[in-house]
Amino acid sequence: MTSSFRAYPDECFAATPSHWPELFGKWDRELRKRHFTGISANDAHQNQVIAGVMFDPYEVSFRNLTTHILARDLTEPEIRRSLREGRAYVAHDWLCDPTGFNFGAANNLGLFDMGDTAPMVASTRLVAQLPLPGPAEDCFTME
């Protein structure tokens, strides 16, 4: 196990969370009641040493999961506004640079950016722009 971690620290660190279904279940229940922007969190303590190998060094923990905030300016009011409006996304930056990621919706009533509330009509399509090639189908129709 320690040799795997030495060779692949990011992959080993990312494989450890087992609480995702519980956390996403709580978030889904909250979203049924109100808008609630999701952000990432790192439980970074740099204290898990096994056989002389630190399994949670800060440099691995902090790049494992990051919140990217789409703010107009780098000021506290604009950052808070972006978070309130849902203009943020979470990425695993160690997998790839997420620069260029975008998510939104479109329908016959208009274009809607990440964080906007789009009226759900039959023509609504969710659109994701990815920094790397993804599935051939880059749009999804809401049902």
Number of domains in the chain: 2
- Do 110 and 41 have their domain in common? no
- Do 43 and 74 have their domain in common? yes
- Do 58 and 41 have their domain in common? yes
- Do 24 and 88 have their domain in common? yes
- Do 68 and 107 have their domain in common? no
- Containing domain of residue 76, as a range? 1-96
Backbone phi, psi, residue 81, to 5°: -60, -45
pLDDT for 141: 46
Per-residue pLDDT of the chain (143 residues; tens, 9 = 90+): 678 877 888 887 777 666 678 888 888 899 899 888 988 877 777 677 878 887 778 888 888 888 999 999 999 999 999 999 999 999 988 888 898 888 999 999 999 999 998 888 888 998 888 888 766 554 444 44
DSSP structural state of residue 19: -
- Do 20 and 67 have their domain in common? yes
Q: Give the Cα separation of 19 and 104 in Å (integer).
A: 28
- Do 92 and 40 have their domain in common? yes
